[in-house]
Amino acid sequence: MKKSRFKFQRMIRICMALALLINLHALTYANSGPTIMEEYPSSEMIVDEANAIIVNHETLTFDLTSDLYSEGAKVKATYEMENTSDETQNVHMVFPLVSTIKSLEDHVEIQCDGEPISLKKIYLDKVNTPNNLPDFETVLKQATEQDSFLTSDLICYEFIPQVDLAEMQIEVKFSLSDPQSLIFVQNINSYGYDGNRFSIGGWFGKNVGTDETLKLYLTKGEVEALEYTVKEKSSDNPIDSKTGFENLKVEQTTISNANMKALLENQLFSEESDIYTKTDKEKMLNEALHELYEPNDMPILILDDLTQYLYRERIILLSYDIAFKPVQKREITVAYQMKGTFDKRNSSEPTYTFEYFLKPASYWKAFDQLDLTINLKAPYEYILSSSLPLTRKSSENQISYHANFDQLPEEDLTFTVYTSETITALDQLKGKWSRTYVYVFFLMVLPLIFVVAVVVGIVFIVKKIK
């Protein structure tokens, strides 16, 4: 009997171990990646409708021969334009796109007759998803500059430890003499607000790897009722907690508006100080401060978060002027990269969908011809669907789709690429199988049901033997 009981217990342990392994496997696949990642559309350049310029010919090429997930498509639009009037025309053009400021420099190039064009960059509000993307034409009317965020000198408070600890946490609590003041804080990892009482804190010492100190800047008034706590990392008990500041020196200085802006510019452009002009830096800093402040419900601005401004996706307008002599023809080229929407909800491999707005091209005095080419490469050799009719051409070295239009199409361009000509029922089944909840059910719930059934069966057999 003891031998049977031992075998029974061993069997249960084996079954539970197998169930655990299967469940770990299921968790790995359940979190293996997203099923859809939406990307933003791109557009033709936008121009004032009151112009005398015609587009004789546009060549629009989408090159999808690089990795679609990491690089997307290389888009190139080349326009042959002509001034139909007998007067010189200075035409203002705008190319809108969604990008981060950080990646903009490497991804967009605009030329006139083969020479790079000097661009004015207008950085607008950040966007969260393609669903909240406003109309590009409406955006042009909303492109106004923000009021100056900093207009006066500031008071700086620097908190300098007077104890030599390898790693310590410093927390400072204070009130404001002027409740209308904004608070800039630097080198912190915690902050709080309760009524008119504020707290900020950070880690400092030799082991932290920085010589920085805790700092705060006020735009108005002074701090009041200062309290502090100094706590060593290895202990939960504070080594100093008082208002006398024997172990924490406080230095109070006035910093001019110009010096504060210089400090903030160094913070914002620490990695790319030479890329932008002085005017660009001033404008971008002002916009970054507005963006940092406006979503908050408290007057604390964390300067360490300032650089997020460069990494957020936003609408960017590239503005430029092209001069046309009477009846002159000029060639304008716009080249950039765009991502396609990744969708693996109903297929074994992801599809990639690209959207391109053609409507803005109708603002020219006339638009005569459009040649469209989409270059593909294995494994993404097929266009599943397209809003415009396309003809497939295949050779040993190149797979492409083409279309020629004698006038601007009425519809915008949307096309989806895939690894085969159609998504079969088997592909759809694999796609559904790969979705998170299906994995969780089949690779977690069913194995557990199986293990329980085996255990119940074993118990039943053992009882029969007895």
Degrees, nearest 5: CA angle 350-75-133: 70
DSSP state of 369: -
CB 166 within 8 A of CB 207: yes
Sheet holding 89-99, edge to edge: 46-47, 89-99, 314-324, 120-126
Pairwise pLDDT comparison (23 vs 367), residue with the higher score = 367
Bridge partners of residue 341, in order along the sequence:
353
Give residue-wise pLDDT tens across range 30-72: 333 457 788 888 888 888 777 899 999 999 999 999 999 988 9
pLDDT attached to residue 47: 85
Distance CA 400, CA 355 (A): 18
DSSP strand pairing (53-63 vs 366-367): parallel
pLDDT attached to residue 182: 92
- Is 90 exceeded by the pLDDT of residue 382? yes
Identify the CATH class of 36-127+314-418.
mainly beta
- Is 50 exceeded by the pLDDT of residue 2? no
Percentage of residues in the chain with pLDDT exceeding 70?
77
Mean pLDDT across the chain, nearest whole number? 82
pLDDT attached to residue 168: 84
- Is 90 exceeded by the pLDDT of residue 82? yes
Query: What single string gives the DSSP state of each residue in 252-290?
Result: EEEE-HHHHHHHHHHHHTSS-TTTS-HHHHHHHHHHHHH
Nearest Cα to 288, choosing from 269, 316, 307, 266?
Answer: 307
Which tokens hold the place of 54? Answer: 């015609």
pLDDT band at residue 408 using 50, 70 and 90 as cut-offs: very high
pLDDT band at residue 133 using 50, 70 and 90 as cut-offs: low
pLDDT attached to residue 86: 94
- Half-sphere exposure at residue 289, Cβ-oriented, CA atoms within 13 angstroms: 22
Nearest Cα to 402, choosing from 61, 56, 55?
Answer: 61
CB 97 within 8 A of CB 313: no
- Is 80 exceeded by the pLDDT of residue 10? no
CB within 8 A of 322, min separation 6: which ones? 90, 91, 93, 112, 117, 330, 332
- Half-sphere exposure at residue 418, Cβ-oriented, CA atoms within 13 angstroms: 20
Within a 10 A sphere around the Cβ of 201, how many other Cβ atoms? 19
- Is 90 exceeded by the pLDDT of residue 346? no
Question: The dihedral of CA 446, 450, 451, 452: what is its sign?
Answer: positive
Nearest Cα to 240, choosing from 166, 175, 170, 159?
Answer: 170
Q: What's the average model confidence in pLDDT over 162-181?
A: 87
- Rounded to a whole number of angstroms, the CA Rg of the chain reads 31
Give residue-wise pLDDT tens across range 116-128: 998 888 888 777 6
pLDDT attached to residue 130: 61
CB 111 within 8 A of CB 333: yes
How many angstroms from the chain centroid is the CA of residue 203?
29
pLDDT attached to residue 26: 33
Q: Is 27 exposed, middle or buried (0-12, 13-18, 19+ CB in 10 A)?
A: middle
Three-class DSSP category at 243:
coil
Distance CA 76, CA 65 (A): 14
The alpha-helical segments, DSSP class H, found in 312-389 are none
Percentage of residues in the chain with pLDDT exceeding 90?
42
pLDDT attached to residue 107: 78
Q: Is 352 exposed, middle or buried (0-12, 13-18, 19+ CB in 10 A)?
A: buried
Amino acid letter, 220: K
pTM over 0.85: no
Q: What's the average model confidence in pLDDT over 159-184?
A: 88
- Is 60 exceeded by the pLDDT of residue 341? yes
Q: Which residue ranges make up each domain of the chain? A: 2-32+434-465, 36-127+314-418, 139-309
φ/ψ of 187, rounded to 5, equals: 65, 45
- Is 70 exceeded by the pLDDT of residue 349? yes
Distance CA 117, CA 107 (A): 15
pLDDT attached to residue 160: 87
- Is 70 exceeded by the pLDDT of residue 300? yes
pLDDT band at residue 8 using 50, 70 and 90 as cut-offs: very low
Degrees, nearest 5: CA angle 233-267-292: 90
Question: Could you check whether the bond before residue 379 is cis, i.e. omega within 30 degrees of 0?
Answer: yes
pLDDT attached to residue 136: 57
Q: What's the average model confidence in pLDDT over 127-142?
A: 61
Where is 439: in which H helix or E strand?
helix 436-440
Give residue-wise pLDDT tens across range 198-225: 999 988 887 776 678 899 999 999 999 9
